[in-house]
Amino acid sequence: MISRSLLLIVLLIPIVVSPAIAQRGGKAEPNRIEFKRGTHSTTISDTVRGDEQAEYVLSARKGQRLIIKLTSVPAKSSVFQLLGEDNDTLGLEYDANFNYSDVLPKTGDYFITVRRPTEAKGTSRYKLTVTVR
C-alpha cells in the first residue's frame, strides 16, 4: 500500500510542477505603471539592448488624456508602441513612436512596449514619461 502511494506521488509531481516550470520560459508580465498618490505623471528610466523589449501596462478611464513622451540616448534610439486591451492601435499609424497625446476611447488597460528601432547590437538608455489627466 505504501509503495502505491509513493508511486502515485512520484507520478503526480511532474504534472503539478511542470506548469510552474513552463511559465519561467514564457513571456513576462508587463510592469504596471501606477502613479503616486496626488500625482498624474511618472517617469521611468531604463535600458534596452539588442532586440530586448520593455513592456508596461497602465489603467485609465474613457475620456482621460494620455500623454507619453520617450527620450533616449543616443537620440531616437528607443521607440514605443501603444495598444489598447484588444490590440487596438488607437489610431497610431506606426509602431515606432516618440510622443503621443490623445483622449482615451474607453476604460481599461493600455500597453506600452519600448524597444530599439533596429535589432542590431546596441544599447539605448531611455526615459518614458507617462501622464494621465
Whole-number pLDDT of residue 41: 98
| pLDDT cut 90: percent of the chain above it | 68
The residue with greater pLDDT, 4 or 44, is 44
Mean pLDDT of the chain: 85
- CATH architecture, range 31-132: Sandwich (2.60)
> CB 126: neighbour CB atoms within 10 A?
21
> Domain segments of the chain: what residues?
31-132
C-alpha–C-alpha distance, residues 43 and 130, integer Å: 6
Confidence of residue 16 (pLDDT cuts 50, 70, 90): very low
Distances from the Cα of 3 to the Cα of 7, 14, 110, 129, angstroms: 6, 18, 53, 61
